[in-house]
Amino acid sequence: MNVARSVLLVVASLLLGACALAPPPEIAITTDAGIVRAPREGVALETAADLPRLVDALRVELVDTRDDPIEVWVQDEVTLYRGSAMSSDIGGFAHRELDRIHIATSNRAERTLYLAHELVHLLLGEGWQTLPLAVEEGLCDHLALRVTGYDGARLIARHLTGAALAVDELRFTVRMIPKRHARQRAGASWGQVSLSDGPRPLDDWLGRSESVTDAAFDADASVRMRGVGYVLARRILARGGISALHDLCRRADVEGHERVPAEWLLKAAGFDGSSALTDVWRGWTGTAAGSRDVAAMVAAHVDVLAEQIANLLEAKGLAPDAVFHDLALSIAVGDARPRHTVDRASPLGIAIHERLEARQLIASIGR
C-alpha cells in the first residue's frame, strides 16, 4: 500500500511527533540495500537475506528507479503508530517519506511477497508519479509474483473477482446431477447465482488514492480498485512491457495531467472502452479460468455462495442430508469449464449443509 499518496498522513505524522510512532523492532541487521529490523533474530536474518536479492531483481524489471536506502520493519502487528495495529488482512505498507516498509512477520514465503510488493512502491522514481494508485498496486503485485515465484493463484483470483465486481458482476453456474445418473448426466439441472454491488465507472476506481493508514480506508472498495489495476497493469505489461506503462506516465506529466487518463490505460491494455474490460473479464472466465482459479474464487465467497445455493436446493424440496447423498454438485464461473466439485466435507459444502439444516429447524418450529 503506497502511503506516499496521502498528504494528510505526512502532516499528521509531523503533528503527532515521534512519541506517537511505534517503536522499532529490537533486532537490526544492515544490508547493502538497507536496514532490516525484526522482533526475532531468525526473522531478521531471513528478511535481511531477501532484501538485497529482491531489490536487485526488481531493478532489472523496472525503469526509472530510486536509489535511496530502505529500512524494513517486520512486525507481529503491522502498524505505524503506537497502539493502533492494522487489520490482520493487511500484509504491509510502504511509507515513501520515511523510505520505510512495514510488513507482517507471517511465514517466510508470504513475508517475501509482501516485501517485494512494497519495494516496488519505494523503488518507483519521479517519472512514475502520474500512475494511478490502482494500477501501481497492480504493478506491484504483478512484479512481486514474478520475482518471488510465489504461488499466486489465490491472489490473482481475488484480483479477478475484484475487477469483475467493479465493472460487472461475478456470476456462477451451479450444476446439480442425480448421482444415479452422474455418468450419463441425465436429469441434470442448473441454477445461476451472482455477486454484484453495482458496477461503477472505471474513472471512479482509477481516481481512488486512499491508503491503508487513512481513517476512511474502505477494504471492500480496495479489493475492487486493486482488481481493476491488476488487470490493466498485467495487460499493458504483456502487450508493451514496462516501458509502455512508463511512457504513459511521462506523457501524462508532459501534458499536465495529474494522473494517466483512463482512456489511455484502456487503449494500452487493448480495450476500446470500459465495456471492453467487461468483455475481457467474461472472455477470461470462458477460456482462461483454470480449476485452481475457480476453486480460489469459490473459497473467497463461501458465505454468499452457500446462501444462494441453499436457496436453489431448498426450492427443490431437498432435505439437508439428501443433498450430498443424492446429488453431484459442481460450480463454475460464468458458463465456463472446468467446474469445481462441491463435496460435503468442503468449506462450501459444510456451509450449504448448515444453512439447509438451520432452515429445516426453523420450519419445524413453525409447524
pLDDT for 209 equals 72
For the chain, how big is the Rg over CA atoms in Å?
23
Q: Which range, 176-180, 228-232, 275-279, is most confident?
A: 228-232
Instruction: Kindly state whether residue 135 falls inside one of the protein's structural domains.
Output: no
**pLDDT grade for 344, boundaries at 50, 70 and 90:** confident
- Other CB atoms within a 10 A radius of the CB of residue 356 amount to 22
pLDDT for the residue 366 = 67
Residue 341: all three cell numbers together: 466439485
> Of 124, 154, 187, which residue sits at a domain end?
124
Tell me how far apart the alpha carbons of residues 46 and 42 are, in angstroms, rounded to a whole number.
6
Same domain, 179 and 312: yes
Distances, alpha carbon 189 to alpha carbons 13, 172, 200, 299, 356, in Å: 59, 14, 33, 23, 19
Give ∠ CA 163-169-174 in degrees, rounded to 5: 120
**Distance between CA atoms of residues 256 and 85, nearest Å:** 38
pTM over 0.85: no
| E strands, the chain, in order | 27-31, 34-38, 70-75, 92-95, 100-104, 170-178, 189-195, 327-333, 340-342
Percent residues over pLDDT 90 in the chain: 43
Q: Is 331 helix (H, G, I), strand (E, B) or coil?
A: strand
pLDDT of 44 > 50? The answer is yes
Mean pLDDT across 326-350: 81
Confidence at residue 173, expressed as pLDDT on a 0 to 100 scale: 83
Alpha-carbon distance of 262 to 202, in angstroms, equals 7
> Does any domain span residue 162?
no
Q: How much is the pLDDT for 165?
A: 79
Q: Are residues 192 and 44 in the same domain?
A: no
The boundaries of the domain holding residue 315 are 170-197+290-366
Asked, for residue 33, whether it belongs to a domain, the answer is yes
- Do 178 and 111 fall into the same domain? no
Residue 18: pLDDT above 50? Answer: no
- Contact call for residues 225 and 166 (beta carbons, < 8 A): yes
Helix, coil or strand: residue 324: helix
Q: Look at strands 327-333 and 100-104 and give their pairing.
A: unpaired
Q: What angle, 0 to 180 degrees and rounded to 10, lies between the N-to-C axes of helices 219-254 and 133-148?
A: 100
Looking at the fold, whether 46 and 184 belong to one and the same domain comes out as: no
Same domain, 68 and 178: no
Same-domain pairing of 52 and 186: no
Question: Are 299 and 186 part of one and the same domain?
Answer: yes
Tell me the pLDDT tens digit for each residue of 52-107.
Answer: 999 999 999 999 999 999 999 999 999 988 877 777 678 899 999 999 999 999 89
What are the tens digits of pLDDT across the range 237-267? 999 999 999 999 999 999 999 999 999 998 9
pLDDT in tens, 152-207: 877 887 887 788 778 777 778 888 888 765 554 555 777 888 777 666 777 788 88
Rounded to an integer, the average pLDDT of 215-244 is 85
pLDDT at 200: 74
Range 23-31 average pLDDT: 97
**Residue 19 pLDDT > 80:** no
Residue 110 and residue 176 in one domain: no
pLDDT at 135 over 70: yes
Per-residue 3-state assignment (H helix, E strand, C coil) for 216-261 = CCCHHHHHHHHHHHHHHHHHHHHHHHHHHHHHHHHHHHHCCCCCCC
Domain end point (choices 70, 101, 124): 124
H or E stretch at 304: helix 302-315
Query: Mean per-residue pLDDT for 121-127?
Result: 97
Q: Tell me, what's the pLDDT at 194?
A: 78
Same domain, 3 and 112: yes
Q: Answer whether residue 241 is part of any domain.
A: no
Q: In this predicted structure, what is the pLDDT of residue 5?
A: 47
Residue 1 lies in a domain: yes
Categorize the per-residue pLDDT at 11 as very low, low, confident or very high, splitting at 50, 70 and 90: very low
182 and 317 assigned to the same domain: yes
In a domain, 245, yes or no: no
- Same domain for 181 and 54: no
Q: Any residues with CB less than 8 A from the CB of 196 and at least 6 apart, and which?
A: 165, 168, 169, 170
Amino acid 16: pLDDT: 45
Q: Closest by alpha carbon to 155, among 321, 296, 19, 1? A: 296
The reply to whether 298 and 353 lie within a common domain is yes
pLDDT at 132: 95
Quick one: which H or E segment has residue 105? Answer: none
310 domain-assigned: yes
Considering the domain boundaries, does residue 282 fall inside one? no
Total structural domains within the chain: 2
Q: How many CA atoms lie within 13 A of 106 on its CB side?
A: 20
